[in-house]
Amino acid sequence: MRNNQQKSILIIGGGLAGITLAHQLLNRNQLVTLIDDGKNASTRVAAGLVNPLVFRRTTLSWRAAEFLKEGWEFYKELEKKLNTTLVEPIRIKRVFPSSQERDEWTKKEDLVEFKSHLLKIPSSSNGQSYGIVKSGYVVHSENFYIKNHQYFDDLGILKREAFDYSSYSPSESCYQGIVYDHVVFCCGYRVFENPFFKDCQVKPTKGQMLIIRHEGLPETESLHLKCFVFPMGNKMFRVGATYEWDNVSLRPTKKAKETLLAHLTHLTKTLPVVVSQPVGIRPTTMDRRPVLGSHPIFENTHIFNGLGAKGYLMAPTMAKEMMLYLLDNRAIAKEYSITRHQTL
């Protein structure tokens, strides 16, 4: 029986945003229903690599320390709940493309905010051409997606179907005859299909990767130069990723394959065996900030979107903030509020 502290919340979209928000709400004992049509084009094919650095300028990602810590704790707790392995630490090796980037790295090694992330380049290794990020980890994205959907299935809260906009009355927060306290759209790049958030400036960014077999690449660390290469086990590796803006085609292309193979030659001269070419579409924003908030007229209709290429880093904390907004009326910072996009 529903108690006074519980709200009924409908989430549309069972990708990274919808999954993490559902768990944050369930942790508060809320009544959650999740609708997903199974056409995920980002979460389950994403690399899942959580890296606190932006390599080009050797800068920390936005709120990196906070996101790293809360993300790791969230995923480890989820492992217990789902009885599976979701996340593992990984060394991230940045092969320096220039002496300037190496010098920039060296300047930042002793700064307080970088010490917990960077391994110091030994002073005796002046010729060392790489640096190590020690605080990164990888989320096994396909397992994350599959196991969470199984879990929600077992709870009886997942509806595997397409959302019917014609059956939704936003003025009453009513969908197919059921009234909800909150309705949250977590539809990723498919936000363009949503009549309530058409002014939301989330853009589709197509990404292509290669799954390769290779005998000579290291299986204990992720390599980064022109592309990333990280191990999947048994001599299998992910290589990625391309960025193709405003492209919603899920078809792999020969051009992307050739580009990734060319980038791979900066890390190894041995040709790989290409096993497959996954395609995903990231929900990105120009300012690289997610989008949280409510419709300007229909106050119980909300959006949680725009996690982009750093999704697995940001999602647990951003989902918590969305949950606090819904349940405790906690304000959403202007920096990532939907209000920065709205024109009404």
From 284, 314, 329, give the residue that closes a domain. Answer: 284
Token pair listed for 31? 């009544």
User: Whole-structure pTM over 0.85, yes or no?
Assistant: yes
Q: Give the pLDDT of residue 127.
A: 57
Exposure b/e, 122-153, CB count within 10 A at least 16 = b: eeeeeeeebbbbebbbbbbbebbbebbbebbe
Of 284, 304, 332, the one marking the end of a domain is: 284
Amino acid, single-letter form, for residue 289:
R
pLDDT lower than 70: segments of the chain: 1-2, 123-128, 343-344
Q: Do 155 and 196 have their domain in common? A: yes
Give the domain CATH number at 220: 3.30.9.10
Residue 106 belongs to some domain of the structure: no
Q: Are residues 168 and 221 in the same domain?
A: no
Q: Is residue 123 part of a domain?
A: no
Rg for the chain, CA atoms, rounded: 21
Q: What is the pLDDT of residue 126?
A: 54
Specify the pLDDT at position 1: 61
Alpha helices per DSSP H over the chain:
16-26, 64-82, 99-108, 112-115, 141-155, 254-264, 311-328
Q: Kindly state whether residues 299 and 280 are assigned to the same domain.
A: no
Q: Tell me: do 273 and 153 sit in the same domain.
A: no
Whether residue 264 is contained in a domain is answered as yes
Contact 321, 330 (CB under 8 A): yes
Helix (H) / strand (E) containing 162: none
Q: Are residues 192 and 295 in the same domain?
A: yes
Number of domains in the chain: 2
Domain-embedded: residue 97: no
Per-residue tokens: 33: 């229903």
* 52 domain residue, yes or no: no
State the Cα angle at 288 between 342 and 87, rounded to 5°. 125
Specify the residue for token string 């120009």. 286
Within a domain: residue 34?
yes
pLDDT in tens, 153-189: 999 999 999 999 999 999 999 999 999 999 999 999 9
Tokens of 56: 């080009």
How far is the C-alpha of 240 from the C-alpha of 256, rounded, in Å? 10
Q: Does residue 224 sit in the same domain as residue 196?
A: no
Q: Which domain holds residue 255?
A: 204-284
Indicate whether 222 belongs to any domain: yes
Q: Are residues 239 and 270 in the same domain?
A: yes
CA angle 47-97-124, nearest 5°? 110
pLDDT at 100: 92
- Give the pLDDT confidence score for residue 238 in this predicted structure: 97
Q: What is the pLDDT of residue 4?
A: 74
Kindly list the distances between the CA atom of residue 12 and the CA atoms of 17, 67, 191, 319, in Å, as whole numbers in the listed order. 10, 24, 11, 14
280 plus 146 within the same structural domain = no
Q: Which of 260, 284, 308 is the last residue of a domain?
A: 284
Whether residues 154 and 279 share a domain: the answer is no
Same domain, 215 and 274: yes
Return contacts of 339-343, CB within 8 angstroms, 24+ apart. 339/293, 341/199, 341/200, 341/201, 341/291, 342/199, 342/296, 343/199
133: left (phi over 0), alpha (psi -120 to 50) or beta: beta
Give the other-Cβ count within 10 Å of 202's Cβ: 26
pLDDT tens digits for 212-256?
999 999 999 999 999 999 999 999 999 999 999 989 999 999 999
Predicted local distance difference test score (pLDDT) of residue 94? 96
> Using the 8-state DSSP alphabet, how is residue 285 labeled?
-
Q: What is the DSSP string of 76-145?
A: HHHHHHHTS--EEE-EEEEE-SSHHHHHHHHHHTTSHHHHTTEEPPPTT-TT--EEEE-S-EEE-HHHHH
**pLDDT for res 40:** 82
Asked whether residue 23 is domain-assigned, the answer is: yes
Q: Are residues 150 and 36 in the same domain?
A: yes
30 plus 150 within the same structural domain: yes
Backbone phi and psi for residue 288, each to the nearest 5 degrees, phi listed first: 60, 30
pLDDT of residue 312: 98
Q: Which residues pair with 137 in a beta bridge?
A: 50, 89
CATH number of the domain bearing residue 29: 3.50.50.60
Cis peptide before 241 (omega within 30 of 0): yes
